[in-house]
Structure 1
């Protein structure tokens, strides 16, 4: 790929590196680059760090407004090991969530799934859904592990392959042959895995909820999306005491300890090119910042605006940025009365109208309103609410852009009431965070949220390479390889740092 051949030259002396945006991936790159001996300055248009990883506090209640749980914490353990003496656990308190999740299905059945225990999950599913259900899910996880083993390095640990079409065309999930009439077929989508291999509407809903949480339509998401539930099963689900914002704080403070400079309230209006390569930034207040490299932690549409009328950032032979990704709607609930000890940290309330919900989110045009799938987070954390009260966060996947109506919020509360019947009686106040709020926090048009990179699907769910056709310009964060999500953002930081420090020959962590 031309972008890879145009990667930044290997840096042997101290370089000036300008980073656009203080999202988690951008800060991860900044910390690693500073440890390598470079002068790194981060320019952030808002007044704080973290990108989508924010925290809202009011009347003694505190809520994560972005991600609420941390999968694959090893990514951040590696970041802290590589950038200083203090390990991650010395900077934040990680708590393994158990059960990992509670699921309320449309037919009224429910199940609580233990954290990172295949045998425990199999047993719980058999008890809740009937003999054989757990075995089918367990067998699926074995196949999902094979897909993970085949794609882990190219999708998480290595720069995007120059011959990325091999990832686009090859389906890594070993689907089971399915005979229908005179034909034998294999599942090519997540929905087909649910229908043909799991053979239970509730198991299919469990599977599809992982895709939906990442903004993916299970009817079109490739079978390779099986790696999403596998990651959670294999590496566990973790909560950061005090909220995920504490993780962003720890990364920010690690950057400061390594002499990374931050300039807040600094809107970048252009990327300066000189002699055919990125050479600095133009700021809204009129100044120009010179640099040897530019690392852009922004969405593709924003990057396009920063380089108007110049060399194309990406060519026709390269991965196209993900477009029309959905957003998230979050309802923050301050409840009177304490959290019951038996309450699950995370509960997923599945919709009664699967097709209606998916058409509403992914239809073209967007379909009519439907009862949503709601994820409820009830952290067992004294920092989240005043004594004797409880902070609850409800999250649903929604189309990016459209405004939210009161009936939309009412449908969310109605669905959540299936898991928390006394919700309305306990409600002190609520606050709604929409796609417009995400757009304000991140600068992404419409408040869209990027999905993790996935193999197959013709490359539709890959993310563009971290290198670009403009030498000296690299991209980091959820809108570039390896895609959205906290682990992926952290890995993008590692990849960008490697490409700058070691040059085009960098092939990822060993």
Structure 2
């Protein structure tokens, strides 16, 4: 039985802890805050309850596997999973809108043809076929296996089979998500729909590789799911599974240093000066934080994977308490697209001193009685990708974004401002405080192509005995990918460096 110290109680870290405990190891989780879940938190006030992190789940099979492997008990025995249908309602400023059925290619094609004109559905359907090919090519190396030692080959070749496009007497193929929209979808509204999937993960569509096409494909192929009571209930279920497997949690325990002995990780030192010895250390923290805890480089010189110095966009969220009942047939998720999406994308990467343009806004309206005081009220969550390095310490910045989100929300929620009882602002600083992520930025899933710049660091490090877990490590961000990182780390510790992933 090995002693394992886990830094952080995010979902990926807890997934690793539960699996390692089942394998017979003694696992202790050190969390600097007073609760578990990382970014998967809850805010409660006046009988209203809100998810403050992710609001929906894709690839629920990751957590189904976790619960079966750690207790031979279905996930559905612990939480109620609800398939969201329609998957999303998309609203455009020209007055058009479309509701996309969940996990139905034929239904999506028909809906797009009816809403956007004949041919729109066919182009999107053809795109999904190509996106599936990219998914099939990258699913194992970028989700189910530890990062290859020769990871550079994943960045050299673009797995998305782009359609040849003639331009200025040259034949080119889309290399970015924006080029897919321009050259293959050939409709501003379809392009906006595609880009919204990238923005949800803080990706810039102009630089995100074409392989980011797997993001809408995952939703299409595996469905969009909601956990009754909110996604926080999923984190609670994983935490309780850890306790059942005798994982020990120490809250309010900030790790100040990773202890080394004989050239390997040998435990953690806490802020109070105490030392907890361990045979392995699993770190579920931001790369900048991990560097501060160690005394040596953790990756090879010249490594170009996901620049740890870069600050990807963050998320600005409004929690709205509304008077009045949710109208019948209201969509669970509505995405409101701005009139000038190019301005939003430019501002996310180079905010400068200009006022922010209207962003793409996601509105979540779960039909869930557990989130509201009674049926005469409604709890709504609105969010948008924002520059992480904007002057969030200035009250005017948050006020400006609040107005932008509320203006967009009128297209998703009838009489929004008139129904508003109160709202709570969740700026990037809140995420930074809760997760330790630099500037509150949000990690994206690992992606192939792009010369490796969209890959996350490997779960192993150059310091023997030290492992990385969670959204800032392979296979990247998002609930499903973070959960898979836990499975990969557990496999590497239990089976050793020969571990090659799930079969």
TM-score after normalising by structure 2:
0.97
Q: Which residue of 1 aligns with 2:462?
A: 469
- Contact 1:312/1:469 (8 A) holds in 2: yes
3-state DSSP class of the match of 1:233? Answer: helix
- 1:12-43 Cα offsets, whole Å, 9 max, x none, are xx100000000000000000000000000000
- Partner SS for 2:473: coil
1:499 aligns with 2:492: yes
Which of residues 380, 383, 392 is equivalent to 2:380? 392
Which residue number corresponds to residue 255 of structure 2?
268
Aligned to 1:6: none
Give the alignment partner of residue 416 of structure 1, picking from 403, 409, 412. 409
Do the aligned residues in 1 keep the contact of 2:306 with 2:452 (CA within 8 Å)? no
Alignment of 1:55-454 (within 5 A): 55-307=42-294, 310-322=295-307, 323-363=310-350, 365=352, 368-387=355-374, 388-402=376-390, 403=392, 404-454=397-447
Change in 2 beyond 3 A, CA 1:191/1:346: same
- The gaps in structure 2 that reach 5 residues or longer are none
Deviations, residues 94-149 of structure 1 (Å, cap 9, x unaligned): 00000000000132210000000000000000000000100000000000000000
Distance 1:181 1:306 in 2: 52
Q: Distance in 2 between matches of 1:366 and 1:69?
A: 34
Q: Residue deviations 1:245-285, cap 9 Å, x none?
A: 00000000000000000000000000000000000000011
Verify the 8 A CA contact 1:300 1:321 in the aligned structure 2. no
What CA distance in whole angstroms lies between the structure 2 residues aligned with 1:337 and 1:97? 22
Partner deviation per Cα, 1:366-409 (whole Å, 9 max, x = no partner): 75410111000000100011211000000000111430331221
2-structure distance, mates of 1:421, 1:65: 23
Per-residue deviation, 1:205: 0.4
**CA–CA separation in structure 1 for the residues paired with 2:7 and 2:463:** 16
Which position in structure 2 is the counterpart of 1:7? none
The answer (yes or no) to whether the contact 1:401–1:436 under 8 Å persists in 2 is no
Distance in 2 of aligned mates of 1:480 and 1:192:
28
**CA distance in structure 2 between the partners assigned to 1:504 and 1:299 by the alignment:** 24
Structure 1 segments unaligned to the other structure (5+ residues): 1-13
Give the whole-Å Cα distance in 2 for the aligned partners of 1:75 and 1:319: 28
CA contact (8 A) 1:476 1:496 kept: yes
Q: 1:503 to 1:301 in 2, by over 3 A?
A: same
Deviation at 1:447, TM superposition (A): 0.6
Q: Give the SS at the match of 1:70.
A: coil
**Number of residues paired by the alignment?**
495
1:459 equivalenced with 2:452 (yes/no): yes
Give the distance between the partners of 2:353 and 2:428, measured in 1 at CA.
15
Counterpart of 2:29 in structure 1 is 42
Contact 2:398 2:427 (C-alpha < 8 Å) held by counterparts:
no
What's the CA shift string for 1:229-259, capped at 9, x where partnerless?
0000000000000000000000000000000
Q: Shift in Å at residue 412 of structure 1?
A: 1.1
